[in-house]
A and B are shown apart, each in its own frame.
Chain A
Amino acid sequence: MSDLTIVLRSLQTRAFSSIVVVLLVAVSAGLMLSILSLRSAGERAFERGTGNAHLLVSRDGSPLVSVLNGLFYANAPKAPIDATKLAELRASFPWAMFVPTAIGDSYRGFPVVATDAGFFSSFEPVLGEPWRIAEGRVFDKNFELVLGSAVARETGLRLGAKLTLTHGSGKSREDGGDGSAEHAHEHREYEFTVVGIVAPTGSPHDRALFGTLESSWILHAHDRFEREGASRTVTPADLTDGDRVVTGALLRLPSREASSAPPALVSQYDRLRRDGSITVAIPSNEVARLFGIVKSIDVLFLAMAGATLLSSGVAILLSMINSMSERRRQVAILRVLGASQGRIFWLVLTESTIVGLVGALFGVAICLLVLFVATQWLLGAHGIVIAPEPDARSAVLVAMGTTLLAALAGVVPAVLAYRTSVARGLRPIG
């Protein structure tokens, strides 16, 4: 038996209100921690997802959209870059990396990235972390596909599997798509073979499939022939310059260190920006800008969570004050048994602190649940890969803050208990 037993029994005798208050504290702490963790995990995920590209060129409406579409596969870019323009861009500077990409096809909702061999040899999905092939090899022929790790896991496709692609996102409105499924169609004429699976990267690339540009061009040339009323099996020889389009290009300038921004970056960025026919983005800057926009909403959410947390502190205070008549007798008995006023003060303060601490621990559990649901939703709906882990520093800060707030809320009841008249508390005694 210890003072803690006295405190726990006291909580037990008021089990219902204790549980309600603990839950209130838990929800508030969980909400606060979830927001902080999601923000931090989101930032990490977006920072990782930009890879080692210094520049991204496309014909999207804005640099931010260009990055969201070209690197995070939010949507298929609408406007293509033709072969002439692409060749001009390639020749305009001695790029260390120049990887064209064409995004627009899909397999069961997963985007298919048509690209060249440089995508696996020069582009790093995460800065400083090159691709690792978990199974098989990278594509070296048309109609070969490499799967991102999440695609392999979720579709169950293995090496050697045969599949056909859908032109368009393939998402129906019911699936949460934009309705373009009405215009999507499956290219059953051309069968692809899975030749490789890449190791997880913790980036949106895990949710994509990768094939050759020429395969993609053949699919679209087939559509062209169909529109012209000359349906037939297309070969590379049938391709025209009009078919050889891409939706973007990942560029890297020569630099001594992998992580550093080369001095020529700003000048090349400015030079490309002057070309009104393309959109050029520095991916890391766009991600920072995105978080700058999100930050103001973030502050609003944090303020709301803070207010909820504060109201849970008030709930502790009210619940303890409401129980004062019952508590007065207990305090008086303990005083008669030899408890000092100081000890009574600390017993009551310990009780409110325990409510805060238990609430904070449940809050962490609620946060884990929220993160799990949120990350699954972000993954499924937007393909954004976020690690479902609470931010450790935030968890410690929120737990400490919640406990401190609960302790503060207990000060008033503790003072009231301290000042309880033993004679009044024991009535009727004669």
Chain B
Amino acid sequence: MSSHPSFALEIARLHFRYPDRGAGKQGFELQLPSLTLRRGEELLLVGRSGCGKSTLLQLIAGLIDPTSGTVQIGAQDMHALKGAARDRFRGRSIGMVFQTFNLLQGFSALENVLAALLMSDLVSAESCARAETLLRSLGIERLDARVEELSVGQQQRVAVARALACQPTLVLADEPTASLDPENALNAVRVLRDACREQGAALLVVSHDPSLAQHFERRQILEALTVGASVGEGARA
């Protein structure tokens, strides 16, 4: 399969199946014939709990391998890469934002962002300066404050800054508003979208919250994209 140069994400004939759990209990299965996302584009994937949203993000991020099919990030087939090369490619090309932010506890706001640069081997004076600028542009002034000392809203912005630190092609957001109240949720989505737009990164948000739909021009229901997705025992979130 040849990738289109303007695509940030191109999924083709993706099939994933968790092993059967025995005793007649069927394993979870996900089939996605096609999904594309252009550079700088935003997409909201909505789906009920257990329909495989997080599994899809893990497949895109190369954290788990599909049974078959391909996931192209830019021009690179993620699953053609192995081991450290895939890890480094993930760090450089994909930013991730989580429901609980998953910031490194005990680290400062700036260190959380620098950790992303460090793990992707992109630490330089220039990238460090950019990390500081990024945090400030997101309204974080106390760069040396430990993340536990920051408000929930500030932590969310640090998580966004970390996701964008390596100037990724694609940002994946997994239920980014699930732990926020409606006002903060609205704000978080705005921050995330603005930041990605400013950095030119494509944004794929997965959520079970239908109220987010009004903020995204392109939105899809995951179940409608998948073929014969089955949810039984062992269903994934």
Interface residues of A (CB under 8 A from B): 1-3, 5-6, 9-10, 12-13, 329-330, 332-343, 422-423, 426, 428-430
Contacts and interface: CB of A to CB of B under 8 A. Distances in A.
A166 B118 CA distance: 75
Interface residues of B, number: 43
B225 interface: no
Interface stretch (B5-13, B32-40, B69-77, B96-104): B96-104
Contact of A334 (B105, B106, B115): B115
B227 interface: no
B180 to A, nearest CB: 15
A340 B121 CA distance: 11
Contact of B83 (A12, A341, A423, A429): A341
Contacts, number: 97
Contact of B118 (A2, A342, A428): A2
Given A338-B92, A429-B100, 9 more contacts: A1-B118, A1-B128, A333-B102, A333-B103, A336-B63, A337-B120, A339-B119, A422-B63, A430-B237
B58 interface: yes
9 contacts: A10-B106, A12-B106, A332-B102, A337-B162, A338-B87, A338-B116, A340-B83, A428-B99, A430-B206
Given A5-B111, A430-B175, A337 B91 contact: yes
B84 interface: yes
B167 to A, nearest CB: 13
Nearest to B87: A340
Nearest to A14: B106
Nearest to A15: B106
B159 to A, nearest CB: 10
B188 interface: no
Contacts of B166: 338
Interface string B151-174: 000000000001000100000001
Contacts of A12: 106
Contacts of B83: 340-342
Given A337-B120, A430-B53, A342 B84 contact: yes
Nearest to B207: A430
Contacts of B84: 340-343
B111 A337 contact: no
Contacts of B92: 338
Interface of B: 49, 53-54, 57-58, 61, 63-64, 83-84, 87-88, 90-92, 96, 98-100, 102-107, 111, 114-121, 123, 128, 162, 166, 174-175, 178, 206, 237
A339 B92 CA distance: 11
A2 B118 CA distance: 7
Contact of B100 (A335, A339, A428): A428
B230 to A, nearest CB: 18
A8 B116 CA distance: 17
Contacts of A13: 105-106
Contact of B119 (A332, A337, A423): A337
B174 A423 contact: no
Nearest to A326: B105
Contacts of B119: 334, 337-339, 343
Given A329-B102, A333-B102, A336-B63, A429 B115 contact: no
A255 B61 CA distance: 86
Given A430-B99, A430-B237, A336 B61 contact: yes
A160 to B, nearest CB: 67
A5 B114 CA distance: 11
Given A9-B106, A337-B120, A338-B119, A429 B87 contact: no
Contact of A330 (B58, B61, B104, B117): B104
Contacts of A422: 58, 63
Contacts of A5: 111
Contact of B114 (A1, A329, A334, A339): A1
Contact of A337 (B54, B106, B116): B116
Contacts of B174: 429-430
B49 to A, nearest CB: 8
